Amino acid sequence: MIHKIKELIAEAEAFKAQSKEEIEAFRIKYLGKKGLLNDYFAEFKNVANEQKKEFGQVINTLKKTAEDKVNALKEELESKEVVKGIYNDLSRPGEPIQIGARHPISIVKNQIIDIFSNIGFNVSEGPEIEDDWHNFTALNLPEYHPARDMQDTFFIQTHPDILLRTHTSSVQVRYMENNQPPIRTISPGRVYRNEAISARSHCFFHQIEGLYIDKNVSFADLKQTLQYFTTEMFGKSKIRLRPSYFPFTEPSAEIDVYWGLSTEADYRITKGTGWLEIGGCGMVDPNVLENCKIDSKEYSGFAFGMGIDRIAMLLHQISDIRLLSENDVRFLEQFKSAL
């Protein structure tokens, strides 16, 4: 009898079914009230004492094998039915998929990177917690230089030589220290200034700065590069460069693009002039090149910088810079269709 039960165990293990009816017939055969297991349990009292232990073990094994087989077959059949229902029923409504959205800062930053990448600029990045040398001194701003007051700086109280970078020019210094000309790079990133937070200014914002160093680089090269950028970015080809002052460039200039006066918004954002300032630029000061171990007699270069936040606000008609950092889902969802 024990041998017969072992055969039934092997038979149960090998059993396969294609329908609920076959599974139910198998269950009744082994586990039903009039099934084989009930018969063997009833026979237990007639088994010789020396065989009771083995007989009980094989009966329990048969019971567990039959129960596991029934459960496994039911799960397999149900999973097939679910898959069939999903993929074969073309009348089922589509599952709603929430579309994510890039942040407007990321959208504009990627657009700027793509534009400059087309003319050979690579991307360089550096630390946001910077030292005095890379943020000021190497950029022709020695200690006690009055131009340091132009940038209200967050210093680390316990380490006066450590600060939160006030511009991504510090990345350019690090790049020049580790790379020899020709250099053509842009440095996007977050910067920090100790300024009052309002609709037009924040204590942190985003910049992108460009640097080109090679032999015989001229101011004309700088203007043509900026002309190309404004045409690609804004669709505006008319620019002007107004004389200005930056400690790390000489000569220096503010970059204005002619926005036009076609709409009331144009009058508002250009203050009725049609011209809009988008950044600063200039020829790299020879002292900066020498500080970075680049021969200023052999090489020259230009640098430029602009605010990503300002451009994003301009392109997407955002009236308050604080919206860019508040993570309001209602605001961010407006950019789902953007790149």
Of 20, 55, 88, the residue at which a domain comes to its end is 88
Of 88, 120, 141, the residue at which a domain comes to its end is 88
Contact 290, 195 (CB under 8 A): no
Inside any domain, residue 97: no
Asked whether residue 303 falls in the same domain as residue 255, the answer is yes
**At 88, is the pLDDT very low, low, confident or very high (cuts 50, 70, 90)?**
low
Please count the other Cβ atoms lying within 10 Å of the Cβ belonging to residue 260: 14
Inside any domain, residue 95: no
Q: Is pLDDT above 60 for 86?
A: no
DSSP three-state, residue 3? helix
Give the domain CATH number at 248: 3.30.930.10
- pTM exceeds 0.75, yes or no: no
Please report the sign of the dihedral spanned by the C-alpha atoms of residue 200, residue 204, residue 206, residue 211. positive
pLDDT in the model for residue 167: 92
DSSP letters for 24-37: HHHHHHHHSTTSHH
DSSP three-state, residue 224? helix
- Calculate ∠ Cα 311-252-295, nearest 5°: 115
Of 21, 56, 88, the residue at which a domain comes to its end is 88
Asked whether residue 84 falls in the same domain as residue 109, the answer is no
* CA gyration radius, the chain: 37
pLDDT in the model for residue 83: 54
Asked whether residue 157 falls in the same domain as residue 54, the answer is no
Q: Is pLDDT above 90 for 216?
A: yes
Asked whether residue 60 falls in the same domain as residue 191, the answer is no
Asked whether residue 78 falls in the same domain as residue 137, the answer is no
Region of residue 260 (phi > 0: left; psi between -120 and 50: alpha; otherwise: beta): left
Contact 148, 167 (CB under 8 A): no
The amino acid that residue 293 corresponds to is K
- For the record, the structure tokens of 257 come out as 């693009």
Region of residue 8 (phi > 0: left; psi between -120 and 50: alpha; otherwise: beta): alpha
Quick: pLDDT tens for 263-274: 887 888 888 999
Of 337, 323, 335, which is closest to residue 103 (Cα–Cα)?
335
Total domains in the fold of the chain: 2
Contact 259, 269 (CB under 8 A): yes
Inside any domain, residue 78: yes
Asked whether residue 299 falls in the same domain as residue 162, the answer is yes
- Pairing mode, if any, of strands 183-192 and 204-214? antiparallel
Asked whether residue 77 falls in the same domain as residue 140, the answer is no
Q: Is pLDDT above 70 for 89?
A: no
Measure the CA–CA gap between 140 and 208, rounded to whole angstroms. Answer: 20
Inside any domain, residue 98: no
Asked whether residue 242 falls in the same domain as residue 267, the answer is yes
Of 1, 73, 71, which is closest to residue 36 (Cα–Cα)?
1
Look up the domain containing 233 and give its range.
104-335
pLDDT in the model for residue 205: 92
Q: Pick the residue with more confidence: 240 or 270? A: 240
Asked whether residue 184 falls in the same domain as residue 286, the answer is yes
Asked whether residue 228 falls in the same domain as residue 114, the answer is yes
Asked whether residue 172 falls in the same domain as residue 268, the answer is yes
Compute the CA torsion angle 225, 227, 232, 233 (nearest 10 deg): 100
Q: Pick the residue with more confidence: 8 or 253? A: 253
Inside any domain, residue 99: no
Compute the CA torsion angle 145, 148, 154, 155 (nearest 10 deg): -10
Region of residue 271 (phi > 0: left; psi between -120 and 50: alpha; otherwise: beta): left
HSE (side-chain half, CA atoms, 13 Å) at 179? 17
Asked whether residue 266 falls in the same domain as residue 213, the answer is yes
End-to-end CA distance of the chain: 75
